[in-house]
Amino acid sequence: MAKANASAVTATAPAAAQSAPASWRAAVQRNLLRSWVKPLLFALCLLPFAWLLYGAIANTLGANPAEALLRSTGSWTLRFLCIVLAVTPLRQSLKLPVLARFRRMLGLYVFFYACLHLLCYAWFDMGLDWSDIVADIPKRPFILVGFTSWLLLTLLAATSPKFALKTLGGKRWQWLHRTIYLIAPLVLLHFFWMRAGKNNFADVAVYATILGFLLLYRVFKAIKK
């Protein structure tokens, strides 16, 4: 009888071990589906903007606030790009399909911070002189690359609503939004050229590693398929 009980305990132990991750995932899924999660994420994504706005008003951005705003908005664009590209690997590796519901909002925040970055360049560097801006874009390669990235992000943002998916059709919409894999290296190249002026490549190496891993993950997944 004792042997039978011991066998039963041994048999149920692996089943319990297997159900633990499943129950954890189910709990996370349930919590991430709650109505307050999206507004909370929206507010959290606005925090960098709020901090920069406060710094500009309170004059706490250092000796050169214009440069601080330009560089910070560029860095946050790149950070949100990394976050967006991390959604799919996290969703697949953790088996949490619910993460997909946040991807569109995070993608629009990439565009939001890219617009702020472009505005800082147009305002602080060029004094909102549009003729000078148009002449400057093709003249400097890093500006051209950055502006091209912004144009592509604009296209993705414009086609992010659900009606655009219905209008374009699933396959066309998917192919269009795969340009994010082109935008990522372009943004990184723009960031590299911005840092090259001051020989500061530490951040570039970090972002290059993150983006390289996130893009290679997709390559390996595609090869597997």
Quote the pLDDT of residue 225: 74
- Mean pLDDT comparison of 41-45, 164-168, 193-197, highest-scoring range: 41-45
> Residue 81 has which token pair?
């790009």
Does residue 68 surpass a pLDDT of 50?
A: yes
What is the rounded distance in angstroms from the CA atom of residue 145 to the CA atom of residue 189? 8
Does residue 182 surpass a pLDDT of 70?
A: yes
> Residue 135 has which token pair?
């002449």
pLDDT band with cut points at 50, 70 and 90 for residue 19: low
pLDDT tens for each residue of 104-159: 999 999 999 999 999 999 999 899 999 999 999 999 999 999 999 999 999 999 99
Which uninterrupted H or E stretch holds 27? helix 2-32
Percentage of the chain surpassing pLDDT 90?
Answer: 72
In the chain, domain spans: 1-32, 66-224
Write a three-state SS string for 202-218. Answer: HHHHHHHHHHHHHHHHH
Does residue 6 surpass a pLDDT of 80?
A: no
Quote the pLDDT of residue 18: 52
- 2 versus 106: the higher-pLDDT residue is 106
Does residue 51 surpass a pLDDT of 50?
A: yes
Average pLDDT, the chain: 89
pLDDT band with cut points at 50, 70 and 90 for residue 178: very high
Nearest-Å Rg of the Cα atoms of the chain is 23
Does residue 3 surpass a pLDDT of 80?
A: no
Look up residue 217 and give its amino acid.
Y
Over residues 173-177, mean pLDDT = 92
Does residue 196 surpass a pLDDT of 70?
A: yes
> What are the residues whose beta carbons fall under 8 Å from the beta carbon of 168, sequence distance 6 or more?
159, 176
pLDDT band with cut points at 50, 70 and 90 for residue 192: very high
By CB atoms closer than 10 A (0-12, 13-18, 19+), residue 121 is: buried
Does residue 20 surpass a pLDDT of 60?
A: no
